[in-house]
Amino acid sequence: MATQEKPRTTYQETYNTEGPREIWCGLDHSSIEEAIAHAELNLGMRGREAKAYWGTMRFTDYVVGWQLNDRKRYRLDYAHAFSEENEKAAKWAGTKRLKGSQGVHVNEENFDDPKDKGVSKVCHPTEASLQRADTYWSKWTRQYRQR
């Protein structure tokens, strides 16, 4: 007796398929500052006041980026397995360094106007080190913890 396979749910169609969930910004940024400026320009938030965007790292809350509102934000991120992620992404991303040369990158998220309807993030790779990114996270967080 042959068993029929159940049709995939919308969730499975969306989240259990191979392929990109983010796209490359088109540039290899030499610094975190350059990547942030590019993300801010794309989001229309360059020179505008932004709110801190909190995230959890190493079981502690940190300011990991900035948001204009709940629908437009960017965050400084680190990919631990960046070599493998870069290798996988090279097939579809248009770059061999989507997660940066050392894993540090900026994720831009615009849920109001995504560049691709199936993708919510634009990735800005950098050449920066994890130590440099950690300096940013600590500096941003200290601004809010001292109040």
**Quick check: 2 pLDDT over 70?**
no
Per residue in 44-66, pLDDT tens? 999 999 999 999 877 788 999 99
Q: Is residue 35, in this structure, part of any structural domain at all?
A: yes
Q: Is residue 101, in this structure, part of any structural domain at all?
A: yes
Contact, 127 vs 99, CB < 8 A? no
Domain housing 57: 21-145
Per residue in 92-113, pLDDT tens? 888 889 999 999 999 999 888 7
Q: How many domains does the chain have?
A: 1
Contact, 78 vs 103, CB < 8 A? yes
d(CA 98, CA 85): 8
Q: Is residue 36, in this structure, part of any structural domain at all?
A: yes
